[in-house]
Amino acid sequence: MFFHATLSVKFKMSSGLKTFCLLIGLYKIRMSSNERISSSRCVEKIVLPSCAPGNQRYLFVHKWGPQNGDSAYIQASLHADEVPGLLVANHLIKMIQEIDSLGGITKQIIVVPFANPIGLSQSVFERHIGRYCLASSINFNRNWIDLTNRITSKVEALLSMDESSNVYEIRKLILSELGLLHSATMKEDDYLKCALLKYAAIADVALDLHCDSDAILHLYTLDKLWPKLSDLAIELQSRCQLISPVTGGNPFDEVCSGLWSNIAEKFPMYPIPIACQSVTVELRGESDVSAALHAHKFITYISYSVNPVVVRDC
């Protein structure tokens, strides 16, 4: 391997905001809109609708590799008080950057280390509230947009017996429908979800990093993706896999994978795979996450299990 996992970070939740401020300090470097930092790295700055006059929040999307085609997507801290994912994502960024400098990124990798700037800023009487949006009272991991009806009403004429063509057409339709929905008049949390879905729902793999208060490492995913995703479970040494059909409430991973499953069920005469393998990864308890170790495992998984040509062996 050409990189080394050298730093193991352990912290307690009470220091979460302090840790976040430290990370923001690290991120002050080179963060202007759509700035190209290296040969393939691009940081896209997405402006969220202002929550009040004089206030504005931003989403930063880190991208490497070709800007179209297959992609692997990882977001962290959608539940913004689950901070360990931030650390994992930031280690991941450093590792990907190193691989990129060696010319090793051949397909697109997208990392959103601060997936929820709204939740990160919600501090009430010195208590960080990151799970629910204070403005809407909605759990940040619920009420994601389900595009099933919009896609199934328009897709049939585009389908054929060519599986890769079906994936291409459905992805195009997903982007077009999200484009129609995405509007600055949306509530800020809905706008955020729509912005993230534009990357995640068309990715080959979409990983959502969470963390429990006290837990072993475990995964949530769609039942139809098992045992295909057993490689990820093995790589992460996940000791419990919670697999089920769509459970309701529209959490992130179910919306991303469930959409493909729903379309395939509606049109069984055409070859339609679950082209977005989405997984919620619970990175164990909040005080026992090794950021560097997990970043290393995600890179290994993306490299060798999901799409062997995303990362070329340098």
- Binding track, positions 126-165, relative to Zn ion; x by CB under 5 A: ----------------------------------------
In this complex, which beta carbon is closest to Zn ion, that of residue 12 or of residue 28?
12
In this complex, which beta carbon is closest to Zn ion, that of residue 142 or of residue 224?
142
In angstroms, what is the minimal distance from the CB of 141 to Zn ion? 6
In this complex, which beta carbon is closest to Zn ion, that of residue 107 or of residue 210?
210
In this complex, which beta carbon is closest to Zn ion, that of residue 106 or of residue 280?
280
Choose which of 41, 62, 63, 79 interacts with Zn ion (CB under 5 A).
79
Using DSSP, state whether 280 is helix, strand or coil.
strand
User: The tokens of 229 are what?
Assistant: 């995703």
In angstroms, what is the minimal distance from the CB of 211 to Zn ion? 7
Residue range at the interface with Zn ion (CB under 5 A); choices 28-36, 99-107, 208-216, 269-277: 208-216
- Alpha carbon of residue 28 to chain centroid: 22
Handedness of CA 3, 8, 12, 17 (dihedral sign): negative
Residue 290: its H or E element: none
CA angle 47, 48, 51 (to 5 degrees): 135
Residue range at the interface with Zn ion (CB under 5 A); choices 65-73, 80-88, 167-175, 288-296: 80-88
Q: What are phi and psi of 146, to 5 degrees?
A: -95, 115
What stretches of the chain adopt beta strand conformation (E)? 35-36, 42-47, 58-64, 71-76, 108-112, 123-124, 127-128, 205-212, 218-222, 240-244, 277-285
In this complex, which beta carbon is closest to Zn ion, that of residue 210 or of residue 297?
210
Closest to 234 in 3D by CA, of 314, 307, 306: 306
Query: Which residue carries 């706008």 as its tokens?
Result: 191
Choose which of 41, 57, 210, 296 interacts with Zn ion (CB under 5 A).
210
Residues in contact with Zn ion, total (CB under 5 A)?
A: 3
In angstroms, what is the minimal distance from the CB of 31 to Zn ion? 26
* 8-state DSSP, 156: G
In this complex, which beta carbon is closest to Zn ion, that of residue 75 or of residue 166?
75
Residue range at the interface with Zn ion (CB under 5 A); choices 10-18, 78-86, 184-192, 248-256: 78-86
Handedness of CA 177, 179, 180, 183 (dihedral sign): positive
Using DSSP, state whether 92 is helix, strand or coil.
helix
- Binding track, positions 81-120, relative to Zn ion; x by CB under 5 A: -x--------------------------------------
In angstroms, what is the minimal distance from the CB of 161 to Zn ion? 40
Which positions ≥6 away from 47 have C-beta within 8 Å? Answer: 56, 58
Site for Zn ion, rule CB under 5 A: 79, 82, 210
